Amino acid sequence: MIYICIRQTTNWADEAEFWSQLPSEFKPTIQVWNQSFNIPYHLFRQRVREISRVNIAAVKNAVSLDWQDVPDGEMVLTVDDDDWFAENVGIALEEARDDRRHGYRWHSSFLEVPIDFGHRLYLLKRRLFRTPPKWICTTNNYAVLKSNQSEPLFRSHIHASEWFQNHLEDVKEVGTGLSIMNRTLASRTSLGVVRPETCKVIRQTTLLRKYWQYRALYRHPPGKELAWCGPYVRMMDELMNELLPL
C-alpha cells in the first residue's frame, strides 16, 4: 500500500481560523484579493483543496493519511493541497519498489502562469537550452520511506532535493507523467509571496492581469502524457469562471 500525505493543515473553510494562522506579511495581499474578487481567498483555496481531494480519492492502491499515522518503513507520496497525481502512480511505485532504495522520483510537470518576468525567462531558458531545474524535487514528484529521518524531506521539497542529489545511489527514477504541480492564482508564489524579507503586496492591476492569464490557462486541455488530469483541469476552469472581478 502507498500512503499519500498532504503537507498543509490550514482549515480553509473556517475564516476565523484561517486569518489566525495567516502570516502577517501575507495579510495585505489577501486583503487585495478579497477587494478584487467575488470569492474570498479562503473559500477559493477550499474549493481548490476539494478538487485535490477528488483527485487523491481516484489514485489506485493508495490511501490518504496524516504523516504521523503512517507506519514506519511505508512509502509516502508527498503533496500540497492543490496538486494532482495520475491514478496509476501508486501502482507504478509498488512495481518500482526496491529494498535498496529509500527515495523515488519522476519528471515534474507544471500547470502554471509564469510568476513574473524573471520566471518567464527561466522557463524559456530551460526549454531552449534544456538546463536542469533548480530543484529536482517539487511538491509532488517524489516519494520517501516513512521514518523520523525522512520527515524533513516530506515537509520541504528543498530539503528533499538536497538529499536526493546527495544520495543518488539510494534513489530510483520512476516513469513520467505521474503527477502535476498545479500552481493556481491563489498560490503564494503566484501572488509573489516567497519569503517575509522579500514580501511585496501584490497590486490589484497585477492580480487582475494574472487572473485573465489563468482563465486562459485552464481552457486548454493538457498534453497527451497528462491527459489523465483533464477532469481536474475542467474543474479548475469552472472555478475560475465562477471567480469574477468586483
Provide the residue ranges of all domains of the chain, joining segments of one domain with +: 2-241
Instruction: Report pLDDT digits (tens) over 34-45.
Output: 999 999 999 999
DSSP notation for 171-207: EEE--SSSEEEE--TTSTTTTT-S-GGG--PPPHHHH
Strand-strand pairing, 179-182 and 103-105: unpaired
Which pLDDT belongs to residue 203?
86
Instruction: Report pLDDT digits (tens) over 201-243.
Output: 788 998 999 999 999 999 988 888 899 999 999 999 999 999 9
Give the mean model confidence (pLDDT) for residues 13-26.
90
> Comparing 46 with 122, which gets the higher pLDDT?
46
Beta partners for 75? 145
DSSP notation for 111-132: E---SSHHHHHHHHHHHHH-PP
CB atoms within 10 A of CB 91: 16
Residue 236 Cα distances to 22, 47, 119, 230, angstroms: 24, 9, 23, 10
pTM for this prediction: 0.91
Instruction: Report pLDDT digits (tens) over 150-201.
Output: 999 999 999 999 999 999 999 999 988 999 999 999 998 888 754 444 456 7
pLDDT band at 119; cut points 50, 70, 90:
low
The phi-psi region of residue 106 (left if phi > 0; otherwise alpha if psi is between -120 and 50; otherwise beta) is beta
Instruction: Report pLDDT digits (tens) over 82-93.
Output: 999 999 999 999
Residue 124, pLDDT > 70, answer: no
3 state DSSP class of 147: coil
* Cα end-to-end span (Å), the chain: 47
Average pLDDT, rounded, for the chain: 90
Which pLDDT belongs to residue 196?
46
Amino acid of residue 61: N
Cell numbers placing 66: 496524516
Residues for the chain: how many in total? 246
